Structure formats: C-alpha cells, structure tokens
Amino acid sequence: MALTTLFVILLQSTIVIISTRGSPTSAATGSNFTSILIFGDSTVDTGNNNFIGTVFKANHLPYGQDFPGHIPTGRFSNGKLIPDFVASVLGIKQTVPPFLDPNLSNDELRTGVSFASAGSGYDENTTVVTGAIPVPKQLEHFKSYIANLGRIFGNNEAQNIIEKSLVIISAGTNDFGFNYYLLPMRKKQYNVGGFQDFLLKALQDLVQELYKQGCRKIVIAGLPPMGCVPVLITERLKPPFNRACLEDENTNVRSYNQKLMNLLPQLQATLPGAKIVKETEEWFVGVGFTETTKGCCGTGIVEASFLCNSGTPVCEEPSEFLFWDSIHPSETAYKALSDFLVNRILRQFTLK
C-alpha cells in the first residue's frame, strides 16, 4: 500500500525554515551546520524522559531493537529518529544525545543535543498528566546549555556554535491529542480555532526567543495528519475493522497548518534580516508501506510506552509498517522523512 494518507509530519504538513544568510549551497555536504539542537516531543526525544519522573519512557525493549547495538535508548521507535539521521547525513555525528544525560562529553555538547521530551507540547498544561518537560521548560534548559558552552569553550565560541546550529522544532501533536481531544482540559476554555491560535502564539514566542539567543537556522514541523494515528482512531471507539482516518481531526490539522503558514510573514517581521522559506507540497506519495493503519508492536492499535514492552510480540518486518507502536512512526518512516528534510528542505538554506 502506498503511503498516501499518513504521516507526514511532513506530508500534508508544513515545514518552515528561517535563515539569515545569503548565497546558495548544498546542505548534503554537512559543511553548513556544525551542531544540531532539537526541541519538541517524542518524535524527536532521544532519551530525555529516561532522566525524569514520567511513565512515558521507551528505555525498554522492543524499543530500540533495530538501533545500533540493539539497545533501548529512550527513543520511541524501533531504531533511530529524524535528528539522528539528519545529524549523520550532515556529517555532524551519528546520533544526537539527550541534554539530560549526565555523561555528555564536551564534544557532544559542542555538536548538539536534544531538549525534547515525549509527551510534551507548547502548552504547559499538556504535561500536567504526562510529567514530561514542556517546551517552555526546554527553552530554559537551552539557556543552561548555552551557559555550559560558555564555561567550556568561552562565550564567543559558544555563540558561534549556536549560530551555526541547525534547530529542529517538532511539537503540537500532544497538545491536541492529550490536552484537547483525550483529556479536554483546554476544550473547556477554547474552541478549536482559539486553541490553534493559543499554540501558534506559544510557537511564535519560542522562535523569537531562540532567535534572540542566537539561533539563525530553524526548521519548524507543522502537525501531521493526527486523525490517522492508530491510537486516536482506537480511542474514537470505531468498529474493530474500521481503521479509516478521522477526517474531523485531519481537517483541524490542515486548518492549524494553514494558520502557521499565514503567521510566517508576521514572524519574519520580528526577525530582522531573516528569510523564511516555505514548503507545503505532498512529498511521499509512492513511498510504500504494507501496513499504515496500525503499529508493529502488539495489536498496533493501543500499545505504546509501557504497553509496548519486552513481553509484547512484534511484527516480523518493521520496515513494512508506517508505525512502530500505536503512536510513533517506524525507523523506516523516520528515515524517509529525514531524506526529504535533507535533500529538499535544507538545501534551501543559504550562506554568505
């Protein structure tokens, strides 16, 4: 079955690139980026949740069964995530470590870390139940990271590292999935449009602060077609064999992503000298997966985190599944997204 309806943090979704540089170059050489910095949720959390008190952990098998060494690392997949693939192709490093790892070397700090946390979102209310690190707190960690760089390498070099970093932001899904649809805390306060605006204001504040701290190359992922996520389809209590995507949720996603696109000119106006490159075409039609409606772990319709564990049977060919568990993409899906990000999006960055 071709991948035509789903994932696509990057297919029906929006990628925004902010840069303040000047002449064309090839991102694939890796010479443009000396480090990588990651903010967001489980799609880009490389293990921070291992070090905090939350039930949202992936530090056990079968998570990581296809990661180098076949070890669980806290990544919510059978293998690597987008930050790992992108960092590798750009020649920065093979994998991106979590910021909270107490054993990070100076070289790992220099070449970048992930601040992301599974279960998090732009809204701090989203983490009340999950115990994850909300994006605003991730920003505080980032500021501590800059201070650490200054102590180790000197303030001038620290700023040079930040300016040459590729920043990736991937969040928002949990804000809707947990905080609006499943546990409707914000639903009592906002209609869908109002909550979209609330999240986009939080995103705008984040980008402006990252820019203020010296970040100049930022990639922002829009929302994926959430109505196609297996666990959300299951939560709707549809008949067992009706695994069709939830069109109302996907309509809300498209609306959010369009608002994000409309926000860009306003955002650019707050970033002197910045250039925003937009990419909205559908990228992955033709990429084939045998199974797109459920995950590889267990039944694939409810299992995730502690429900996907060493006692849970898994499919024989994870590469044929779009999803690894009932929420998160497989390594193969992440690899496809990463290839597009490097080959089509990052090439649009420019240098003097």
What's the pLDDT tens digit per position in 164-175? 999 999 999 999
pLDDT of residue 275: 62
Q: Residue 223 has which token pair? A: 């929302």
328 is catalytic: yes
Neighbours of 251 (CB within 10 A): 13
In the numeric block, which tokens belong to residue 264?
């860009």
324 has pLDDT over 90? yes
pLDDT digits (tens, 9 = 90+) for 34-79: 999 999 999 999 999 999 999 999 999 999 999 999 999 999 999 9
Question: How much is the average pLDDT of 189-208?
Answer: 96
| Model pLDDT, residue 16 | 59
pLDDT digits (tens, 9 = 90+) for 3-41: 332 233 333 344 556 665 433 334 444 457 999 999 999
The verdict on pTM exceeding 0.85 is yes
Per-residue pLDDT at 253: 93
Instruction: Give residue 20's pLDDT.
Output: 54
Cα 243 from chain centroid (whole Å): 25
pLDDT for position 8: 32
Candidates 80, 117, 94, 77; CA nearest to 36 is 94
The DSSP string of 214-272 is T---EEEE----GGG-HHHHHHTT--TT-----HHHHHHHHHHHHHHHHHHHHHHHTST
Q: Residues 218-247: what's their mean pLDDT?
A: 87
Task: Report helix, strand or coil for 292.
Answer: strand
Q: What is the pLDDT of residue 236?
A: 87
pLDDT tens digits for 239-288? 767 889 999 999 999 999 999 989 988 888 888 866 666 555 444 433 57
The string of pLDDT tens digits covering residues 99-142 is 999 999 999 999 999 999 999 999 999 999 889 999 999 999 99
* pLDDT attached to residue 328: 96
Place of tokens 């209609």: 191
Classify each residue of 110-141 as buried b or exposed e, where b means 16 or more C-beta atoms within 10 Å of its C-beta.
bbbbbbbbbbbbbbebbbebbebbbbbebbeb
Instruction: Decide if pLDDT at 146 tops 60.
Output: yes
Q: Which of 325, 326, 330, 338 is catalytic?
A: 325
- Of 35, 328, 330, 338, catalytic: 328
Q: Dig out the tokens for 211 from the structure.
A: 């820019």
pLDDT at 286: 34
pLDDT at residue 96 in the model: 98
pLDDT category of residue 299 using cuts at 50, 70 and 90: very high
Residue 348's pLDDT band (cuts 50, 70, 90)? low
Average pLDDT over residues 176-200: 92
**pLDDT (average), residues 282-295:** 70
The region of weakest confidence among 64-78, 285-299, 320-334 is 285-299
Catalytic residue among 13, 19, 35, 42: 42
Q: Residue 352: its pLDDT value, please?
A: 41
Per-residue pLDDT band for 342 (boundaries 50, 70, 90) equals confident
Q: Are 219 and 168 in contact (CB under 8 A)?
A: yes
Catalytic annotation on 255?
no
pLDDT score for 19 = 63
What confidence tens digit (pLDDT) does each residue in 208-221 have?
999 999 998 888 88
Cα–Cα distances (Å) from 55 to 58, 61, 76, 118, 244, in that order, read: 9, 15, 13, 10, 29
Residue 175 CB neighbours (<10 A): 28
CB-hemisphere CA count at 13 Å for 273? 12
